[in-house]
Amino acid sequence: MRDLAPGDVFGELAALDGGPRSASVVAIEPVTLSVMARSDFLKCLETSPEASLWLARRLGAEVRRLTERVFELSALNMQARLHSELLRMARLAAPSTVIAPAPTHEELGARIGSHREAVTRELRRLARLGVITTGHKRLCFLDLERLEMSVRELASVSDPLT
C-alpha cells in the first residue's frame, strides 16, 4: 500500500508488460486523472528518449522504495515500522505538518504488517511524548526531529549485527 502524490502515475507496469494490474487504486478525496491507452504509452516511450529515461528513473525509485519496505518488514519490530511509515507520511505531506484525512489505525496496521490495537497503543504513546497529535481524522506531526531520531534508534536496535 502506498499513497500517491499529485503527478504520480499508476498502471505503468501493466502498460509495459501487457499483464493485469497488480493493485487497485482508491481515491480518498476528489482527484483529476488522465488516462493513456497502452499503445499510446508504448509509442511515447519508443519515440521519446526523455520519456523512457523518466520512466526508468521512476521504476528505479520504486525498486528502492520496495527494497526499503521489504527490509523494514523483515528486520524491524512493529514500533520501528510504524515510526518509519509515519515519517514517510510526514515527508510526503511536507511542508504541511497535518495529514487529513489520516489513515485509520487499521489501515496503518495493514501498511506495516501489524494490527489496529498495536498501532493505537503506539500512536497514543507518541501523543503522550508530544511527537504527534491525532483526532477528527487528522494526524499532526509536532516533533519530526524526534520521530527521525526514533527511527534511527529503533532500526539500530532491530539490527542483529550491531
Along the chain (162 residues), what's the average pLDDT of each consecutive run of 10 residues?
A: 80 91 82 92 96 96 90 89 93 89 93 94 96 93 92 72 42
Position 139, amino acid: L
Tell me what pLDDT residue 58 has. 93
3-class secondary-structure state, position 5: coil
* Cis status of the peptide bond prior to 95, with omega within 30 of 0: yes
Tell me what pLDDT residue 116 has. 95
Tell me what pLDDT residue 162 has. 41
Tell me what pLDDT residue 160 has. 47
* Alpha carbons 25 and 77: distance in angstroms, whole number: 28
Tell me what pLDDT residue 161 has. 44
Tell me what pLDDT residue 20 has. 87
CATH 3.40.50.2000 describes domain 77-158: no
- Sequence spans of domains, the chain: 12-71, 77-158
The CB density around residue 150, as the number of other CB atoms within 10 Å, is 21
Tell me what pLDDT residue 74 has. 86
DSSP secondary structure of 111-123: HHT--HHHHHHHH
Name residue 132's beta-bridge partners.
141
Query: H or E element: which one contains 14?
Result: helix 12-17
Residue 156's φ and ψ, nearest 5 degrees, are -75, -30
Tell me what pLDDT residue 8 has. 86
Tell me what pLDDT residue 157 has. 65
| C-alpha torsion angle, residues 160, 1, 29, 14 (rounded to 10) | 140
The CB density around residue 96, as the number of other CB atoms within 10 Å, is 11
